[in-house]
Amino acid sequence: NAIGKPAVMGLYLLLDGVTGEPQALIEGQRLTQWRTACASALAASYLARQDASRLLVIGAGALSSFLAKAHSAVRPIKSIHIWNRTPA
C-alpha cells in the first residue's frame, strides 16, 4: 500500500483456559485473513441461493485469494470474477 505496511494486521493473545495467564502472543496476519474470509463464506452459505456457482470478489487486495478459497470450500464455485477499482 501507499505507506508500505501490510493491508491486514492482527495479533492474537493465547490465554490459559484455567488460570487466564498469557501463553503466547501470535502474529496474526494470516489468521486474520482466513478468519475474515471464512466468516464471509459462512454468511454466504446462509444468504446465497443454494445453486449459486459464481463468485464476484470486490477488490484484488490481500483478502481476495482467501475469499475465493473459503467460498469454494462451502459450495461448488464454477467461476470467480475479481473486480478492482484500479488495474492490476
**Whether pLDDT at 1 is above 70:** no
> What is the predicted pLDDT for the residue at 72?
96
Distance CA 15, CA 65 (A): 30
Mean pLDDT value across residues 33-60: 95
Task: Please give the average per-residue pLDDT across 55-71, as a whole number.
Answer: 95
| Lowest pLDDT segment from 2-11, 14-23, 71-80 | 2-11
pTM, whole model, 2 decimals? 0.76
Q: What does residue 22 show for φ and ψ, rounded to 5 degrees?
A: -65, 135
